[in-house]
Amino acid sequence: MSLLTTNYLTPTGREEAWRFTPLKRLGGLHDGTAKVGDRESLSFKGGASGVSFERISRELTTSPAETDDVVMQRVREGARNVATLTIAANTEVAETITLSRSAHGLDSAEFSRVRIELGAHARATVIMENTGDAFLAEDVEFVLSPGSNLTFVSLQEWNTGSTHLAKHHAIVDRDASFKSITVTVGGSLVRLLPSVEFIGQGASCELLGVYFATEGQFFEHRMFVDHKVPNAKSRVNYKGALAGQGAHTVWIGDVFIRAAAEGTDTYELNRNLLLSDGARADSVPNLEIETGEIVGAGHASTTGRFDDEQLFYLMSRGIELADARRLVVRGFFNEIVTEIGDVVIQDRLMDRIDGELAKAGS
Amino acid sequence: MSTLEIRGLQVSVNTDVGAVEILKGVDLTIKSGETHAIMGPNGSGKSTLAYSIAGHPKYSITGGTVTLDGVDLLEMTVDERAKAGLFLAMQYPVEVPGVSVSNFLRTAVTALRGEAPKLRTWTGEVKDAMEALKMDPSFATRNVNEGFSGGEKKRHEIMQLELLKPKIAILDETDSGLDVDALRVVSEGVVRAKEANNLGVLLITHYTRILRYIKPDFVHVFANGKIVEEGGAELAEKLEANGYAEYVGS
């Protein structure tokens, strides 16, 4: 398993897609030198009727989309199976489906392929919970048939030493809607590539995310929304906080409106809160438009510090500085965290965010 | 019985062109149950007085003292001043996105009382305060000052005044931006807080209309960073008739 024979173009760091990523910290995932173990850490919970989970041998399945990411190419070649979650057509799954990974160790890498397929007019919420020590490269694909609706929550609550590279690629057909909520609060290096490809009119996506990087952590969220067809709608909103020396986050929002994609409606937003010196937030929204016949296209990016006026207002009501900061940071993330819709998870994340803030010594 | 005592207060604000002196020696004493109106033209330093007493970081105290019951307020952090019994109702209350009014109020009252209030009693207190100020119950679930109209912001400030029960309140242009009905509702809230807690009030205003609802015991005319004339309620009537012309430029 550890020997990969195919010759891939190894990134040098000069490529647009890799220019922010510290390649030296990837443990050889990018250049094929990583030792790859034979591990399948993903487990499934939530057996309802119309829901199936099976590991399909890679020889028996074809990926619905090509990938140009070298790490994902290695994953596709190296992973033995594709963990496939299928929601049958016209099935509305009331209970949240949970896919979880925990504690797999850092000595060798895991290559993992996951596919989530929704039949026509199916509706489900899937949460992917990631905890423990990870050295993971993961290719996650979503296939949303016409009229289906998926909410996908991805929680990166890794331990300190973890390295996690993943692509989340959603193919969204006519009148289907895909909503993803990505939370990255743990790990040494996390690089996630959420992407959406619209293939039918009336499709929509909402890509939401929060991240909180402290000392030495590198978290990259690089998205790509491909408007290939007319009348699709996309919304992106990522919020991040950073504190501590060497905390580094990268947010890239690429949106491509092709010539055929008349009636496109897109807006993307990234906001960062710098809570200390020595942290760096890169934020690059990028809109490429080939047709003017659209409903709207816009983006915004802001990076700021604590607002003294907010802190003064709260403190003037007797609230101590540390508590005032905590309120402001919780409030900053609240808009997106509450979208998860699971109070237990939301409380756990907010506590983790409090912990990160306390760790940052504010 | 509490006393806020301001003696020879000098304050400057830091700007791009260096420190600019705004308050040039202010003397004022406010006791429990008293209402003092500070009136003056725009730019005279009225708001600077309010914010520097509350401890806004923008202002530097360059001279004088401010004590509450003999304790030096100027040495305290902003939250300590609130815990000592000071309240500032702001002219432009700040939005705090993602923080609900009910969470904010509960956090504030817990900080001020040193322990979390009993849930049932507290919920009742908030409900009563909101009803008294003719606020919709949905208000508690909205984010602090976010998307509030001018009137809602001021009601929210006075609701806090009633709930947090300070000893001395500074009201910075609470009347600005209010229509007649809202002005009456908000003023009644101030009067209730006064009566309930024997509150001392320092009311900063540009206009006399709020003084029809909140009767001042003392009126101080503020111009060029200091008090230039003092009197009773009758002084406000004189200002209503003559304006500030005679004080400006002096």
Nearest Cα residue in chain A from B93: A313
- Per-window interface: B 136-195 vs A, CB < 8 A: 143-144, 160, 164
8 Å CB contact between A58 and A76: yes
- A59-112 pLDDT, tens digit each: 998 998 999 899 999 999 999 999 999 999 999 999 999 999 986 788 899 999
pLDDT of A1 > 80? The answer is no
Report how far residue A11's alpha carbon sits from residue A71's, in angstroms, rounded to the nearest whole number: 10
Largest alpha-carbon pair distance within chain A?
A: 65
* Facing B79 at nearest CB: one of A318, A327, A331: A318
- A321-340 pLDDT, tens digit each: 999 999 999 999 999 999 99
Cβ of A332 and B78 within 8 Å?
no
- Confidence class of residue B95 from pLDDT cuts 50, 70 and 90? very high
Nearest Cα residue in chain B from A320: B79
Task: Using DSSP, state whether B49 is helix, strand or coil.
Answer: helix
Would you state the pLDDT for residue B250?
46
User: Distances from the Cα of A259 to the Cαs of A219, A221, A226, A264, B232, in angstroms?
Assistant: 33, 26, 11, 10, 75
Q: Which residues of B touch A309 (CB under 8 A)?
A: 94
Would you state the pLDDT for residue A105?
80
ipTM for the predicted complex comes to 0.96
Cβ of A332 and B56 within 8 Å?
no
Report how far residue A56's alpha carbon sits from residue A58's, in angstroms, rounded to the nearest whole number: 6
pLDDT of A135 > 60? The answer is yes
Report how far residue A54's alpha carbon sits from residue A42's, in angstroms, rounded to the nearest whole number: 11
**pTM for the complete prediction?**
0.90
- Confidence class of residue A7 from pLDDT cuts 50, 70 and 90? low
Cβ of B112 and A318 within 8 Å?
yes
Cβ of B111 and A317 within 8 Å?
yes
Cβ of A318 and B83 within 8 Å?
yes
* Facing B88 at nearest CB: one of A316, A331, A332: A316
In sequence order, the β-bridge partners of residue A218 are: A189, A248
pLDDT of A5 > 60? The answer is no
Would you state the pLDDT for residue A6?
53
Between residues A60 and A255, which one has the greater pLDDT? A255
Would you state the pLDDT for residue A114?
97
Separation in Å, CA of B108 to nearest CA in chain A: 6
- B67-90 pLDDT, tens digit each: 999 999 999 999 999 999 999 999
How large is the angle between the packed helices B101-113 and B150-164, nearest 10 degrees? 30
- Per-window interface: B 78-117 vs A, CB < 8 A: 78-79, 81-83, 87-88, 90, 93-99, 103-104, 107-108, 111-112
Q: For the purposes of burial, counting CB atoms within 10 Å of the CB of B165, is it exposed (0-12), middle (13-18) or buried (19 or more)?
A: middle
Q: Which residues of A touch B112 (CB under 8 A)?
A: 317-318
Nearest Cα residue in chain B from A336: B98
Separation in Å, CA of B94 to nearest CA in chain A: 6
